[in-house]
Amino acid sequence: MAYTVPRPKLTFAEKIYLPTVLAGLKITLGHLVKMLRGKTEVIMQYPEEKWDANLPDHYRGAPTLVSDEHGRTRCVACQLCEFICPPRAITIKPAEIPSDNPFAKVEKFPGEFEIDMIRCIYCGMCEEVCPEQAIFLRKDYAITGSTRKEMVHDKARLIELGGVRTGLVHKWNEKK
């Protein structure tokens, strides 16, 4: 069935268009005057002023690897994040923990762990899928670099960004 689009009834002033031009100018020039008098509060001059303190808790920034209270990287190289990553930004090369290590029962650790920050879409799936709570999205958003290589975060950089988190998972502790 044909649908008739309701057309608004225009007054004479709207039909000849020139008065509406003035009405439009009133709005735009009003904003201009407001800006010139410094009455607008939505402006933030980015590199000097930042919104960082007001970022919400659920903000998804750069993914990082966290260490536990013993200084051990929590990751056990299960590669779940690598498999779930939609843009395939994560590359893990697992390695074996030698038997004389106090954490030998963990068996695996990431020999290499790289996240390509050019590919990363900050979806947070790696954080969600991780059974060890080893990968977290931080609030860092200004990830820049002048080469492609610089934009690939390797294991050392990821651990440095992640910092230490205690609690949460205790299953690999000595006594358990």
- Only segment of 29-37, 84-92, 94-102, 164-172 that touches another protein (CB under 8 A): 29-37
- Only segment of 6-14, 42-50, 89-97, 152-160 that touches another protein (CB under 8 A): 42-50
Do the Cβ atoms of 63 and 135 come closer than 8 Å?
yes
Binding mask 101-140 for another protein (x = CB under 8 A): ----------------------------------------
Q: Write the CA distances from 35 to 30, 31, 108, integer angstroms.
A: 9, 6, 59
Region of 4 on the Ramachandran plot (φ > 0 left; ψ -120 to 50 alpha; else beta): beta
Chosen residue from 11, 14, 31, 96 binding another protein by CB under 8 A: 31
Closer to another protein by Cβ: residue 1 or 44? 44
Rule CB under 8 A: is residue 36 a binding residue for another protein?
Answer: yes
Rule CB under 8 A: is residue 70 a binding residue for another protein?
Answer: no
- Backbone φ and ψ for 125, nearest 5 degrees, come out as -70, -35
Q: State the distance between the two ends of the chain, measured CA to CA, in whole angstroms.
A: 71
* Separation of alpha carbons 91 and 81, rounded Å: 9
Q: Which residues bind another protein (CB under 8 A)?
A: 18, 21, 24-25, 27-29, 31-32, 34-36, 40, 42-43, 45
